[in-house]
Amino acid sequence: MKLHGAIISPNVRKVIIACMVKGIDFESNMIIPGPVLKEPEFLKINPLGQIPALEDGDLIIGDSNVILQYLEEKHPEPPLLPSSPEERAKCRWLAEYAGAALFPCCGTMFREVLVNPNYFKQPTNQKTVDETIKEKFPPVLDYLEAQTPDNDFLFGADISIADISIVSMFITARYGGFSIDANRWPSLAAYVERVRSHLHVAKCVENEKEMLKMIMG
């Protein structure tokens, strides 16, 4: 199985953590987002020109949530979805929400504060950063604050695709200097720290240090 994408990308990280939890071996094709994703060779793998993409034998698919679903069906143990249909639906919804609402905020912080000035040698757009922190993040964090439990993970003692999807976005935001204000969003801030300290999440973050250094230059 080959996973295309940079380890430090939030949507790629979701797949890596899921593979680690399930003990799935994979080969990594470390592609950094940029013009290379729009070249014909990569568009043959994912015509959307995005990472992650997964190749498993003749199967080639994109989209982190689709990939996670495939891994769950192909390698059901340990499960990354809860057991009841209602909870499974909610779990998929929260993973979708993380991609649709949280990813744009977290990705902006990462790109503007870390990647642009350090890697691409372009100035940070401070207006975009301020707007993201003051206007874009708060309603998303309010919603997540109301979803997060006081203990364990979203669906009990075991980590799920929703937990992985949410924490992966916040790991990326932290690289961009963003941390959750624990006075305003106490439950969410504590929950994210709990998920970050999960064995495989912590290991994944540890494995990113080299690449982070490379980006910092």
Ligand X SMILES: N[C@@H](CCC(=O)N[C@@H](CS)C(=O)NCC(=O)O)C(=O)O
Q: Which residues bind ligand X (CB under 6 A)?
A: 9-11, 33, 37, 49-52, 63-65, 99
Cα dist. 82→42, 69, 77 in Å?
34, 13, 12
Using CB atoms within 10 Å of the CB of residue 116, give its burial: 0 to 12 exposed, 13 to 18 middle, 19+ buried. middle
Nearer to ligand X, 141 or 164 (CB): 164
Nearer to ligand X, 154 or 161 (CB): 161
Secondary structure (3-state) at 50? coil
At its nearest, how many Å lie between ligand X and the CB of residue 173? Answer: 12
At its nearest, how many Å lie between ligand X and the CB of residue 78? Answer: 22
At its nearest, how many Å lie between ligand X and the CB of residue 211? Answer: 13
Nearer to ligand X, 37 or 195 (CB): 37
Q: Closest Cα to residue 171, out of 6, 8, 3? A: 8
Nearer to ligand X, 94 or 189 (CB): 94
Task: Name the residue whose CB lies closest to ligand X.
Answer: 50
Convert 140-156 to b/e letters by CB count within 10 Å (16 or more is b): bbeebbebbeeeebbbe
Distance between CA atoms of 131 and 149, rounded to whole angstroms? 28
At its nearest, how many Å lie between ligand X and the CB of residue 136? Answer: 16
